[in-house]
């Protein structure tokens, strides 16, 4: 038991003598390390509250983020907006292209939507490229064709149709083009020749 060291009259009190005076709840502990003594007090309430709060926060964190709905890791981005097939997949569009009714509707639209003014009355090419041959600038995938018709190309030289036509109209136009090109097969088109610098041979073989 450490003795409280009261200052004697012969000795000036030191700072530590003062600090270890038994005052109120401050009681020195029994041990001393190299002459250093310490009080045996309760931890301050704010300190204990911080500890409990940290433990609670850690628990909530682990439960929420590791086992609950919290987000961990790279953010989950929303799926990219599909613009190429207007929401239809390549497989769906190819299935549509087998339907003669869709083709017939597409054919009607080529004059109604004025495709024929640039691509020719038979779509064999005028200002715009020949759409009956097996050469394509933007590819023969139906999603490419739908994208071209919807959004336009070459800064509007090929005008976007998405404001004038529904997505099914555009799909039907693509069906008609595919049916035409499929019927043409691998024959060389006697009409507007492809531009070998821009058009690649990608026959429609589906």
Tokens of 35: 């002459």
Kindly give, in sequence order, each residue whose CB lies less than 8 Å from that of residue 119, ignoring residues fewer than 6 positions away. Answer: 110, 125, 126, 127, 128, 129, 130, 131
With binding defined as CB under 6 A, does residue 113 bind ligand HEC? yes
With binding defined as CB under 6 A, does residue 127 bind ligand HEC? yes
Residues in region 138-177 near ligand HEC by CB under 6 A:
138, 145, 148-149, 153-154, 157-159, 161, 173, 177
Please give the size of the binding site for ligand HEC, defined by CB under 6 A.
Answer: 25
CA–CA distance from 158 to each of 45, 88, 100, 175 (Å)?
Answer: 75, 22, 26, 18
Comparison of 20 and 177: residue with beta carbon closer to ligand HEC: 177
3-class DSSP state of 93:
helix
Q: Which stretch binds ligand HEC (CB under 6 A): 28-36, 43-51, 115-123, 181-189?
A: 115-123
- Helix (H) or strand (E) holding 152, with range, is none
Comparison of 20 and 184: residue with beta carbon closer to ligand HEC: 184
Residue owning tokens 């026959």:
203
With binding defined as CB under 6 A, does residue 104 bind ligand HEC? no
Say how far apart CA 123 and CA 120 lie, in whole Å.
5
With binding defined as CB under 6 A, does residue 183 bind ligand HEC? no
Binding site for ligand HEC (CB under 6 A): 113-115, 117-119, 127-129, 131, 136-138, 145, 148-149, 153-154, 157-159, 161, 173, 177, 199
């Amino acid at each position: 038991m450490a003795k409280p060291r009261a200052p004697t009259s012969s000795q000036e009190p030191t700072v530590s003598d003062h600090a270890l005076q038994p005052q109120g709840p401050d009681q020195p502990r029994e041990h001393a390390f190299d002459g250093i003594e310490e009080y045996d007090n309760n931890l301050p309430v704010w300190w204990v509250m911080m500890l409990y709060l940290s433990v609670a926060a850690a628990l909530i964190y682990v439960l929420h983020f590791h086992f609950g709905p919290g987000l961990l890791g790279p953010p989950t981005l929303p799926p990219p907006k599909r613009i190429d097939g207007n929401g239809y997949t390549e497989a769906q569009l190819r299935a549509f292209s087998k339907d003669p009714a869709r083709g017939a509707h597409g054919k009607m639209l080529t004059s109604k939507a004025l495709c024929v003014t640039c691509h020719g009355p038979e779509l064999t090419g005028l200002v715009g490229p020949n759409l009956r041959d097996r050469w394509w600038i933007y590819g023969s995938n139906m999603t490419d064709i739908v994208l071209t018709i919807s959004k336009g190309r070459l800064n509007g030289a090929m005008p976007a149709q998405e404001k004038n036509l529904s997505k099914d109209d555009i799909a039907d136009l693509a069906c008609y083009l595919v049916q035409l090109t499929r019927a043409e097969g691998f024959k060389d088109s006697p009409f507007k020749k492809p531009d070998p610098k821009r058009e690649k041979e990608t026959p429609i073989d589906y």
